[in-house]
Amino acid sequence: MSAEPTGVQTNQAYASTDDFITRTHVLPLLADPASRKRLIAEHAGNPIGVPGKAGKAGIQHSDDLARVIDKLRRAPMAGKYVRICVTPHADYRIGVCSGVRGKPVKLLKDKYPSEDSCEHAIFLKRVADLMAQYGVS
C-alpha cells in the first residue's frame, strides 16, 4: 500500500505555522526597503551580539532584527550557510551544509578576515534566499 504521506509525517503543522509567522512578522520587515536597510545596517554593526562583561550590560539586537534572525535560524540544515574557521583570526569562509550527517560541508571561495564579517555575509545570503523563496524584491 503506497498511500500519500500524512500531515504528521510531513510535519505540515510546523511548516504551516512557520509560513504564517514568516508572512506575517518577517517578510513585512524585509519587503520595506527602508526597514531592510535599517536591519542590515544594525546587523553589520553587531552581527553576533555582544555579551555582558565586567558589570556592563550586553548589546542585544532590536526586536525586529531578532525576529528576522530567529526565522533564518529555523531553516533546515540542507543548504544552510555556516561559518567555517580556516585560520583563527585571519581566514573565515562560508560553508554550505549538505543536510546529511557525516557528509562534508561545501566551502565557498570568498574569504573573510573576521568572524563578524563572515557572519554578516551569511546574514545577507540568508536574507536574499528568503526573499527569493517568497518572491519578495
The model's pLDDT over 11-23, given as tens digits with 9 standing for 90+, comes to 899 899 999 999 9
In the block, which residue shows the cell 503543522?
13
Which three-class secondary structure state does DSSP give residue 119? Answer: helix
Report pLDDT for 11.
Answer: 85
The model's pLDDT over 7-55, given as tens digits with 9 standing for 90+, comes to 888 889 989 999 999 999 999 999 999 999 999 999 999 998 888 888 8
Rounded to whole angstroms, the Cα distance separating 122 from 5 reads: 34
Count Cβ atoms below 10 Å from residue 92 Cβ, excluding itself: 24
Domain ranges of the chain: 12-47+65-133
What average pLDDT does the chain have? 93
Report pLDDT for 137.
Answer: 83
Report the sign of the C-alpha dihedral through residues 117, 121, 122, 123, in that order. positive
pTM of whole model > 0.85? yes
Residue 2 predicted with pLDDT over 80: no
Q: How far apart are the first and last CA of the chain?
A: 44
